[in-house]
Structure 1
């Protein structure tokens, strides 16, 4: 049985990958800053390394005896003083260096759909810089490119709870976001896959109008959508770039950009967005 190193195991996707590795009876080692999130989800790794991937010294030798590295490492909501280049690029580079040193056979990295076309966004630029380095590393690799998580779409539900959803343009932009559990299966199956890049989405292609209506329906609320012209989005982004730091601007820039383009990928999985919204309703 191949031995797996999972980096980013305490993030949204990482938790699901850890559970899938356990379900498929893989030996896996998790790199964590703190084990609290794993304990909360009743996840027991075969080995645990408490370290910071941004600190190359703290992960020395982490890949010894490892066959496959799976990395979901990246910033979703910026904390501390780290930038996208610090985490999405350099932290993964630190891990890649250790993988090469220890003779790891394959490196699986989770990037984003259309990352190559969105290099003007700081988060995508950092991810794609690492992708370039990985492709030229000499290690077998697989780049997983999801088009968005259900957790990202929860913002629609949160707006609906407040009584109004704001959409850019006419709300007809389409996407098929994927549940973390479904994406985790794709990531673990990539261990034995010959594919170098996998674009992946969920089983339902929906417009933003349909997602908004679904959120209101689940809540039993009257549909209330406000459409924002694209020129306002552009002005807001310019102002944010001038008057806020990257911690605020980066995530907003990404969200407000992908909200204006179709993010459709090959359909996969069994989890529906409506069921996800129902679970959110029960939690709250």
Structure 2
């Protein structure tokens, strides 16, 4: 089966492409920059130039394709807006996939998108879900809510570098999941008829609060965290400021997501039905504890090795100085 992956250079998209290749699929990736996507070609994927916001570039990318996995979203720093990429780009892709008679369409949305009509990204995701369901395509919608990979930059690295961990006071606990596991569900959806024309949550086994994550990182690293708590009012003010400038609209729309976090309601969902439908074993899913433990064990070992090398070099330098001092002069 030939598979087209959209958003393959992103945190989740690259794991989907990797998983598909590992399972023997013929993978094609729609990319805006061949240079940034060079690693995908090295893995064995076919790269085709294209842009969701340029409908004319999509039919060539879809030629001979049996299935599409759509994991693209606008980045905060993109020149294109969320509305252009996540809405119009998705509509363009769905229409092109329909015209190309694509057999399966997997869409990565966000958990509870329908509950927040005032948050631009979530409202757009909800609208795309509805548009896809009405398109006539054979679809599956997956709804994650947070990636384990994001915890490294948000919690682990600041702690190791002695910097502040920024936490919103009322942040909602979140059921994070490893992007590799989400990719497993995306590829499995292609094989299981029970997942057709349905939506599924794809989240971790439990929701973790910021304080729980900080305590876990402290335990695993043996270090104390510096915490800076940010009131929601500051985030709201920042969003208002960024809305004044066109080049910061994406940032403003992303900051609106703080309204979801500020509710304090856990971002989590039952996964029993999902695991049953996909035929996957919950025990094979990476937990927050195991993911962070593996990270800290690896990084702490590296830090010890670097410290040892540093001490060794200092000792050699010191020994050299001592020899020079004791060397007889004529």
TM-score by length of 2: 0.75
What is the RMSD computed on CA atoms of the aligned residues? 2.7
Tell me the equivalent position of 1:261.
265
The residue number in structure 1 matching 2:306 is none
2:240 paired with 1:224: no
Q: Which runs of 4+ in 1 moved over 6 A?
A: none
Q: Which has the higher contact order (CA 8 A, sep 6+)?
A: 1
Paired residue total: 280
Q: Specify the SS of the correspondent of 1:74.
A: coil
**Structure 2 Cα separation of the partners of residues 190 and 213 of structure 1:** 36
Task: Kindly provide the CA deviation profile for residues 196-250 of structure 1, in whole angstroms up to 9, marking residues without a partner as x.
Answer: 1110112453222111122334443213334445555545544554678313212
What is the CA–CA distance in structure 2 between the aligned matches of 1:40 and 1:279, rounded to whole Å?
A: 27
Change (3 A) 1:57 1:243: closer
Q: Secondary structure of the equivalent of 2:64?
A: coil
Equivalent-residue separation in structure 2 for 1:280 and 1:93 (angstroms): 43
What's the secondary structure of 1:116's corresponding residue? helix
Whichever of the two has the greater Rg, that structure is 2
Query: In 1, Cα distance between the equivalents of 2:85 and 2:4?
Result: 18
More helix by share: 2
* Aligned pairs for 1:91-240 within 5 A: 91-153=89-151, 154-160=153-159, 161-169=161-169, 173-193=172-192, 194-195=194-195, 196-240=198-242
Q: In the TM superposition, what whole-angstrom CA distance separates every residue of 1:51-81 from its partner, at most 9, and x where no partner exists?
A: 112111122332222211111011233312x
TM superposition shift of 1:3: 2.2
CA distance in 2 between partners of 1:280 and 1:145 (Å): 30
- Among 282, 286, 304, which residue is 1:270 paired with? 286
The TM-score, its normalising length taken from structure 1, stands at 0.86
Q: 1:50-129 maps to which residues of 2 (within 5 A)?
A: 50-80=49-79, 82-129=80-127
Contact 2:174–2:268 (8 Å) recurs in 1: yes
| Structure 1 residues 238 and 211, CA gap change in structure 2 (3 angstroms) | same
Alpha-carbon separation, structure 1, partners of 2:131 and 2:157: 38
Contact 2:5 2:30 in 1 (8 A): yes
Separation in structure 2 between the aligned mates of residue 256 and residue 132 of structure 1, nearest angstrom? 23
Residue pair 2:70, 2:106 contacting (<8 A) in 1 also: yes
